[in-house]
Amino acid sequence: MRAQERHWRQSDARAFGPMSGCGQIVASVCLLLLLSVSARASVAVLVEQPYGGLSRINPAGHSAVYLDHVCAESPVKLRACREGEVGVVISRYDGIDKYDWLAMPLVTYLYAVDSPDQIPETMDRAGEIQIRDRYRRAHLEEIAPDLPDGKAPSGNWYELVGSAYDRTIYGFSVKTTPDQDAELIAVFNDRKNVERYNGAFINCADFARVTINRFYPHAIRRNFIGDFGITSPKSVARGLAHYAAKHPEAGLQVFVIPQVKGELPRSHPIEGVSESLLKKYGLPLVVLSPTTTAAILVAYISHDRFAMPKDAPQLDLHEAEIKSVQVPTPIAPSGRVPLPPANVSATTPSGGVPE
């Protein structure tokens, strides 16, 4: 991993230039940047929409954790961020070089590039394959090496880079402290990083749930009624939103990272377990067992119903390096806010609470 660590030190030190396409800025938000105060640290649950054919069977999507004051020394080692850096996305994966979790810089995780000025304005399937493989060959050979014929390997390594090409991502962010961030870095760097993935009970959403609970103990629990004990990405967001409603000091903020425009198929709405059962198998269930269907409906209404945020501010990576700026909640729904998104007083935008 030494070669990787050298690259990550070099790429982390680069200054972020202006973005193209995805980095267009609303003028009114730029004016708000004149309000200069100390920025705060935050941790966010990323709830990612499902995409592709599998989304018809499993519409749960993916979940990851984003920390804006923690960065990646390498994909398997964390450190505190330096000036101008925008943080790391950490998640649990299945079948990537036998690691339980892997960490990627935010810009890389979203767009498979090193800096915002390299983000493509649009994307198609051929371009997505090319940009991911180019990054893999340059920086991830130790995790996803070439096949004997020189081609890219199969497997889930592609989930580490370019997530925003495939799907829209929602963020639910709460405050952290420097001591909490330092403790998380120490724990992750010291413990064994060996694959533990299990789709039912040790999945990506469980990773997000346990990680958030390190900052806010017992904030997110398994949903034994609405999700039948299986942690889903949507249930993690729901749990955090409920916790923050009772604890406004957590400073919940929501944001959205839209799927990159282009010819790629659009991602699909996120669903919880009982919600998915009702939408896909509601009619057959009514015929086979009205009582069971009624029980699932009650479980959904009482413990699983939750709406993804509507008109949430978009994450603007162009302003990410300005960490000494506080931006009030945008008045215009289409406005973009600088990163970290949780750098405002506690609020819950429309759609970010249970229906």
pLDDT digits (tens, 9 = 90+) for 292-327: 656 655 555 555 556 777 888 888 776 554 332 333
> Regarding predicted confidence, which is higher, 229 or 164?
164
Q: What is the DSSP letter of 75?
A: T
The answer to whether residues 210 and 317 belong to one domain is yes
Alpha-carbon distance 23 to 254, whole Å?
Answer: 19
Question: Domain tally for the chain?
Answer: 2
DSSP code of residue 200: T
| pLDDT > 70? residue 255 | yes
Indicate if 137 and 280 belong to the same structural domain.
Answer: no
Q: Which residues, 6+ apart, have CB-to-CB distance to 259 below 8 Å?
A: 49, 164, 165, 166, 167, 168, 266, 267
DSSP state of 53: G
In a shared domain, residues 55 and 43: yes
Longest dimension (CA), the chain: 62
Q: Is 140 a domain residue?
A: yes
How deeply is 149 buried, as exposed, middle or buried, from its count of CB atoms within 10 A (0-12, 13-18, 19+)? Answer: exposed
pLDDT value at 101 more than 80:
yes
Residues 294, 227 within the same domain: no
Radius of gyration of the chain measured on its C-alpha atoms: 20
Q: Are residue 150 and residue 295 in the same domain, yes or no? A: no
Determine which of 6-20, 120-134, 214-228 has the lowest per-residue pLDDT on average: 6-20
Q: Are 86 and 68 in contact (CB under 8 A)?
A: yes
Are both 60 and 108 inside the same structural domain? yes
Cα-based torsion angle of the residue sequence 104, 108, 255, 180 in order, rounded to the nearest 10 degrees: 30
Q: Give the span between the Cα atoms of 281 and 9, in whole angstroms.
A: 50
The pLDDT tens digits of the residues spanning 170-199 come to: 999 999 999 999 999 999 999 999 888 776
* 254 and 291 inside one domain: no
Same domain, 150 and 83: yes
Do the domain assignments include residue 127? yes
Q: Are residues 147 and 293 in the same domain?
A: no
Query: For residues 124 and 317, what is the distance between their CA atoms, to the nearest angstrom?
Result: 22
pLDDT band at 22 (very low <50, low <70, confident <90, very high): very low
Q: How far apart are CA 70 and CA 91, in angstroms?
A: 14
180 with 293, same domain? no
Question: Is the residue at 337 inside a domain?
Answer: no
In a domain, 332, yes or no: no
- Per the domain annotation, does 354 fall within a domain? no
Residue 97 lies in a domain: yes
Same domain, 236 and 105: yes
Residue 228 lies in a domain: yes
Q: Are residues 231 and 294 in the same domain?
A: no
Local structure of 102: helix, strand or coil: strand
Whats the size of the chain, residue-wise? 355
**Alpha-helix runs per DSSP H in 100-177:** 106-111, 125-139, 163-166
| Host domain of residue 299 | 272-307
> Is-above-0.75 flag for pTM?
no
pLDDT of residue 100: 94
